[in-house]
A and B are shown apart, each in its own frame.
Chain A
Amino acid sequence: MRVLFLMIKENTNGNRTAKWLMIGPPLLFLLIFFVVPSLIMIVTSLRYPGEFGGLAPIITPAGKVSDGYGLTLEAYQFLLSNSLYAEIFLKSFGVAAVTTLICLIMSYPLALLITRSEKRFRNLMVLLVVLPLASNFLVRIYAWMIILGPESPLSHLINTILSVLGVAPLTLLFSPFAVLVGMVYVHLPFMVLPLYTNLEKHDPVLLDAAQDLGATSWQRFWKVTWPLSLPGVFAGSALVFIPVLGMFAIPEMLGGTGDILIGNLIKDQFLGTRDWPFGSALSIILTLAVLSIAGLTAWFTRQSGGMKYAE
């Protein structure tokens, strides 16, 4: 640390050193432990699957026909060969978007209430949102299987109401509805936390000023609170939307016979079909799609000036 101090002092402005002290460590870490492994996977997507799993050698072994060795675009061609895969992509993005929206609608009032609560309660309230994550993921999902099961009180209640209305009984478990419940349940805290850390810093003076100017509480929300909270909304949405796309355990456990998402498809390539090249190709396309969505969102908000309050 002393050395770092000296470095900073020696530099008249300290700006450049400070910049690289800040950028350097995370950049270096991710370059080594993310970018290099990712390059391996990009190459993987261009190889052939091994006959018994893993990957076929790039260099044709002596005495073998060259077919099935070396580099190929086969995995990508296979991906484009059938509209099935595009369908699954679209479906997964749909599920992710709906999950994100529900999480946002549920989290916003909660985060707002926490910021408006007395200071001594705030820690506890935030803590109560995070605590469920400390229990095991699968155990929580199993609890939902019990709640949504056909003989559960909830199922009985809903089906009693439905039968009064003359509607055929529903099964809650093993359905797209159950998948959505699971997705929202698991990702909700990731929406609440960024929203809270954003809302918490807002200056109450702004709201008071708006009130003095005669704004109703509804107007105050849409004109002051909401625009200021947009960075939090975007951060929370990213932390829900993106992980939902890779999720496979929830559709597997809570879903019915048609609930396959892109996460399941990718998992299947590595832990089922032993087709690493195709699995890598699917993952790379997914990551690129997510990054372009993130990029487009950032560009769009800049263009439309949505962030002008925030910046």
Chain B
Amino acid sequence: MSFQNFYVTMFVAILSFSIPFNTSGSDQEENTNSIARKENILYLFNWNHYIAPGTVKRFERSCNCKLSQNYYSDNEEMLAKLAAGATGYDLIVPTGNAVDSLIRQGALKPLNKSLLSNFKNINPTHLNTKFDPGNIYSVPYAYTLTLLGFNQEKMHDLGLPTDTWAIIFEPRYLEKIKGRVTVLDSQRELMAAALRYLSYSANDTNEEHWNQAKERIIRAKPYWAAFSNTSYIRELAVGNLWVAHGYSNDMFQAALDAKRTGRKFTINYSTPKEGGVLALDSIVVHKSGVRTDLAHQFINFMLDGRNSAELTNLIGSGNPNMDAMKFIQPDIIRNNAVFPDKDSLAKLEMLQDFDRNQRRLLSRLWTEIKLR
């Protein structure tokens, strides 16, 4: 009958589709050693595009194992999945506040530092964070800054400043760029920017201060085009947006895209003088992982300056590895928005998690902001 034909055809198509995988040499090898393969897989729960493909290949060769990556696009996705009890991940790459949560839930295994001979490469500035004093559970991997990206020429023509949060909060500036601005669709990040602009800490929990920040946001909102977490990269590079509140490695991408496609303008980015947010991503070992040995091997491998530098050269992320500096492209090192100097660094804060009542209150403020 026709219906069966439909499915038979589909299955045949899929089978033929999968033949190429089984005929390639390496796969056959893997298939014959299926038991060995099962034992030699390291499961990494990571952001997509957060390790250079070449690095993965070299690691797999060096450990004679397979690195299997699972992706998330937001810390919260990963936390929600783990909170429900998902298991099987050897390594995770969470941001500071998520490291904090995972430690306090007792979800992580302490590191065996004796297996991490390259640990000394990490710049002490990024060690001993509030989240993990003594780095018992976490090893810094890379960091990003939350800042402003902008169309250099447009901002110059309009005579607008680019080194202050005022550009996304003050109507007198905003009216010149109405509808050409986006801000992050993240309650924590946007509140942090508004709080810093009001000279409060990004982790301020005073309700009065929150309300002031909310007022600022609601006042500026009519001038913004949208809340955007991803599309601003392309829209900036195309020229549809002139200012975007976003992450440094995304701005790096936008600037690169604009340059490579020969735009008539340049995309630049800088940390506002009022200070902003620094997000430090660390590698941690999940307690449900079985290959603690491979996990340490991987961490130590990534602590090698050459391997660590590859990520920075690929996506423009900040690098906490001192040994990596000599392998990083000089123009990236010179970029103050990727590698902030001491003064800028002092004004950057890492976000801390709020307790449940504060989270609920902030969520209501956010809903109000969105609806008004």
Would you give the 0/1 interface string for A224-247, flagging 1 where the beta carbon is closer than 8 Å to chain B? Answer: 000000000000000000000000
Within A28-60, the residues touching B (CB, 8 Å) are: 48-55
Identify which of A87, A257, A271 contacts B221 (C-beta below 8 A).
A257
Assembly CA distance A255 to B192 (angstroms): 23
Closest CB in chain B relative to A138 CB, distance in Å: 10
Contact with B along A61-76 (1 / 0, CB 8 A): 0000000100000000
Among B73-81, B156-164, B275-283, the stretch in contact with A: B73-81
**From residue A82, how far is it (CB to closest CB) to chain B in Å?**
6
Residues of chain B touching chain A, judged by Cβ–Cβ distance below 8 Å, are 74, 76-77, 79-80, 83-84, 100-101, 104-105, 179, 185-187, 221-222, 224-227, 229, 231, 235, 238-240, 353, 355-356, 359-360, 362-364, 366-368, 370-372
- The binding surface of chain B is classed by DSSP as helix
Residues of A near B77 (CB, < 8 A) are 271
Q: Establish whether residues A271 and B74, one from each chain, have CB atoms under 8 Å apart when the complex forms.
A: yes
Partner-contacting stretch, out of A6-14, A262-270, A287-295: A262-270
A-B contact pairs, 13 of them (CB 8 A): A49-B356, A52-B105, A53-B79, A88-B371, A149-B235, A151-B240, A174-B225, A258-B372, A272-B187, A274-B79, A274-B83, A275-B356, A278-B360
Please tell me which one of the listed residues A48, A49, A149 contacts residue B238 in the complex, with CB atoms under 8 A apart: A149
**Residues in A79-93 with C-beta less than 8 Å from chain B:** 82, 84-85, 87-88
**Chain A residue nearest in CB terms to B227:** A257
Task: Indicate whether A147 reaches chain B with its CB closer than 8 angstroms.
Answer: no
> Quick check: A51 and B370 within 8 Å, CB to CB?
no
Number of A-B contacts defined by CB within 8 Å: 106
Q: Which residues of A contact B362 (CB under 8 A)?
A: 273
Nearest chain-B residue to A261 (Cβ)? B370
Given contacts A49-B356, A50-B83, 15 further A-B contacts (CB under 8 A): A50-B356, A54-B83, A54-B84, A55-B83, A87-B371, A88-B367, A88-B371, A151-B239, A252-B185, A252-B227, A255-B226, A256-B226, A257-B227, A268-B363, A275-B356
In the bound complex, how far is the Cα of B360 from the Cα of A49, in angstroms?
10
Given A256-B225, A257-B226, A271-B74, residue A52 in contact with residue B238 (CB < 8 A):
no
Cα-based distance from A252 to B231 in the complex (angstroms): 10
A55 nearest CB across to chain B (Å): 8
Q: Which residues of A contact B (CB under 8 A)?
A: 48-55, 68, 78, 82, 84-85, 87-88, 142, 145, 149-151, 171, 173-174, 252-253, 255-258, 260, 264-265, 268-275, 278
Which of A87, A142, A270, A275 touches B359 (beta carbons < 8 Å)? A275
- Distance in Å: Cβ of A105 to nearest Cβ of chain B: 28
Whether B371 contacts A149 by the Cβ 8 Å rule is no
Using known A-B contacts A51-B355, A151-B240, A257-B221, determine if residue A78 contacts B367 with beta carbons closer than 8 Å: no
**A258 to B76 alpha-carbon distance, docked (Å):** 23
Nearest-CB residue, chain B, relative to A138: B230
Partner of A260, one of B221, B222, B367: B367
A48 to B356, CA, bound (A): 9
Query: Are the C-beta atoms of A270 and B225 separated by less than 8 Å?
Result: no
